[in-house]
Amino acid sequence: MDRVIFLVDMQTFYASVEKADFPEFRDKPLLVAGDPKQRSGIVLAACPIAKRFGVLTAEPLGQALRKCPQAVIQLPRMQHYIDVSTAVTRFLRQFTDLVEPYSIDEQFIDVTGSVPLFGSPLTIARKIQQCVHERFGIYARIGIGPNKVLAKMACDHYGKKNRTGIFELNAKNIEKYLWPLPIGELFGVGHRMEQHFIGMGIRKIGHLARFQVDFLRKRWGVNGELLWRTARGLDSSPVSPGTFTEQKAIGHHMTLPFDYPAIKDIRVILLELSEEVAYRARSKRYMGHVVSVGISGAFERHSGFHRQITLPFATNFGMDLYHAANTLFTESWDRLPVRAASVTLGDLQPASNNYQLDFFAHLEEKANLSAAVDIIYRKYGKTSIFRGTSLMPSSQLWARASKIGGHFK
């Protein structure tokens, strides 16, 4: 028997949560946007009423207000959105224990075993849609398929656009509904791959589905075959409730309030990023061997790079990460202004595991120091103890201390 997989998507999630909490805004255009004085002054979510004025997600707030000057502006409350998303996950577990959060506003659920209990897939989808709206004030769109990739595309291409908010893609109807779509609409195809396909005469998803897989495999390896399988609606990946319980990497990204041209200022940011990543790794009891740095330049220059280095020992100590990150940055920076930076610790292993000791790494001293700092962080906050460089004007420690993911809690 085919599996029955849903992709449950919460429409304009942040805006929907705000309208549920503030019913007086229900019939008004509402935007959730960051601080207009910073680069975070972009539209994170626009309700359907605002979208009718042409407002787009991720456009500058000022531009959105020129389109819809009467819009209500709400600052994001990220912790609250996370709490609501978690509550939705718990609710969906009433229908099945196979619930996999895909993003803050999307969840895969496998209801194959629930059909005998709750009725047909369409009946279950309608029930979920009704209950999510009654409990959370959020309109859910649901894609149905025999696997995750078809459920996702059913939701994105049809469920989000039709009157009922529910659509099913399966082996019987993909030729009618999926194959006529442009190749750029296929899940997993980015702009560059789209251009490659068009250059080969593959303009529709159906063209790729009928293409010779051997050629695709020869040119792009596993990814070529994966996209071919996706076009044919083939996907064997299970809905995995534990997908996010074991991490492969821990990273932190920061978009700066303005382009930083000076190396001394950029190093302050790299140090703060390194300390944040190290703290999160210790909080989750991980250590890692691989440190990665990502740098983005100004939009108009399209400059930047991503580099990584493997350390001779596993660590979750901030200065270890910073020394590696600074080396990568110094070797690769093109001396153009920096608008965003990230630091990531990868090749993770549980901190309780046995690991290779380094005679010169002073691991025990670092562990004791880090443990003391973590106690202070948890009790008094991130600004209670910090390195002196965070007193420099370029520091973003204070601005981000009360935020989650760069946005207000």
Binding residues for Mg(2+): 9, 105
Bridge partners of 310, per DSSP, are 290
For β-strands 99-103 and 140-145, DSSP reports them as unpaired
Instruction: Give the span between the Cα atoms of 77 and 407, in whole angstroms.
Output: 7
Instruction: Give the span between the Cα atoms of 234 and 215, in whole angstroms.
Output: 18
- Strands laid side by side in the 30-33 sheet: 43-46, 30-33, 72-74
Q: Which of 142, 183, 134 is nearest to 160 (CA)?
A: 142
Residues near 392 by beta carbon (within 8 Å), at least 6 away in sequence = 264, 265, 268
For residue 130, count CB atoms less than 10 angstroms from its CB and return exposed for 0-12, middle for 13-18, buried for 19 or more.
exposed
Phi-psi category of 362—alpha, beta or left, where left has phi over 0 and alpha has psi -120 to 50?
left
Instruction: Give the span between the Cα atoms of 298 and 138, in whole angstroms.
Output: 37
Residues near 289 by beta carbon (within 8 Å), at least 6 away in sequence = 310, 311, 313, 314, 315, 346, 347, 349
CB of 316 within 8 A of CB of 281? yes
Instruction: Give the span between the Cα atoms of 138 and 17, in whole angstroms.
Output: 7
- Which is catalytic among the residues 100, 106, 168, 275? 106
Phi-psi category of 48—alpha, beta or left, where left has phi over 0 and alpha has psi -120 to 50?
alpha
Binding-site residue ranges: 9, 105
> Radius of gyration over alpha carbons of the chain, in Å?
24
Angle between helices 263-283 and 363-380 (to 10 degrees): 90
Is 275 considered catalytic here? Answer: no
Cα dihedral 154, 157, 161, 163, rounded to 10, equals -30
Burial 381-403 (b: 16+ CB within 10 A, else e): ebeeebeebbeeebbbbeebeeb
Q: How many residues does the chain have?
A: 409
Kindly list the catalytic residues: 106
